[in-house]
């Protein structure tokens, strides 16, 4: 891989960072994960971003799902396809 094509890490945590970190912390690098487990880990990491507007104590499954639907413009794939090595099972 060309090192010039690699972008430096973002200072601001974005949805891609959150999804990768949630997958890692939930143990996706060594076992299959259920999507609910992954959503709960992401909600634990960013509750203000992923909660209901009227009930900040509850995760909104639509918002949780959205962080894993971010497109990767360099490959034309979404994160569900890119996470095949992360062992996500929906």
User: What totals of helices (H) and strands (E) does the chain contain, helices first?
Assistant: 5, 4
Q: What is the pLDDT of residue 68?
A: 80
Q: Are 63 and 42 in contact (CB under 8 A)?
A: no
Which residues of the chain have a pLDDT value below 50? Answer: 71, 88
Question: Distance between CA 79 and CA 68 in Å, rounded?
Answer: 5
Q: What is the pTM of this model?
A: 0.66
Q: Would residue 27 be called left, alpha or beta, if left means φ above 0 and alpha means ψ between -120 and 50 degrees?
A: left
Q: What is the pLDDT of residue 87?
A: 53
Q: What is the pLDDT of residue 15?
A: 84
Length of the chain: 90
């Amino acid at each position: 891989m060309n090192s010039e094509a690699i972008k430096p890490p973002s200072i601001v945590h974005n949805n891609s960072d959150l999804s990768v970190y949630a997958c890692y912390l939930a143990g996706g690098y060594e076992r299959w994960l259920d999507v609910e487990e992954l959503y709960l880990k992401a909600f634990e990491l960013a509750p203000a971003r992923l909660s209901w507007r009227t009930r900040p104590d509850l995760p909104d499954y639509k918002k949780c799902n959205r962080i894993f639907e971010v497109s990767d413009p360099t490959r034309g794939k979404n994160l569900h396809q890119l996470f095949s090595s992360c062992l996500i099972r929906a």
